[in-house]
Homo-oligomer: A and B are copies of this chain.
């Protein structure tokens, strides 16, 4: 039962991601902050629904696994707003690496190594699967902000070029989604939800 006990400890530890709050707002629940657990659910399903738009072969099972686990390190490291400054993002990266070892290290060795490799692949954003997963993680906040009069963009004075940069994974990978995103960004600028550079 030793492996099972380790797995159950990990599963119970996951509960804590429900207490990590992001900058995004949940419009349908009194505009409270969104937590990283429900966000992870939302983008995993978003990836499944939209993966037909990818022009290269995306292994949707791997993408979904990446998205289910990508935020778990925030249990220790907290959530960092995507458009924070570089020094803050580098410090965050160190915290996340430590969290990766502590939290996934609760699992039996084989699963630990599997998830660690998957997390590093996601963060590396070089493979097709990781790039599609990253794209989904960026496109959903855009959809949410567009339905919420700019949401977190307005609050943090985000610029058009920052949102374009963050969604650029779509450009070659899913042109139809990229076109849609560019149109949304332009509309957001006309509404004053994003700043012109």
Contacts and interface: CB of A to CB of B under 8 A. Distances in A.
B26 A143 contact: no
Contacts of A1: 176, 180
Main secondary structure of the interface of A (DSSP, over half): helix
A49 interface: yes
A34 B19 CA distance: 10
Interface in A4-25: 4, 7-8, 10-12, 14-19
Protomer copies: 2
Contact of A143 (B12, B28, B29): B12
Q: Which of A10, A28, A40, A147 has the most CB of B within 10 A?
A: A28
Interface residues of A, number: 46
Contact of A68 (B44, B65, B107, B176): B44
User: Considering the complex of A and B, which 5 residue pairs feature the smallest CB-CB distances, nearest first?
Assistant: A19-B29, A41-B41, A37-B38, A16-B28, A38-B38
Interface of A: 1, 4, 7-8, 10-12, 14-19, 26-30, 34-35, 37-38, 40-42, 44-46, 48-50, 53, 61, 64-65, 68-69, 107, 111, 140, 143-144, 147, 176-177, 180
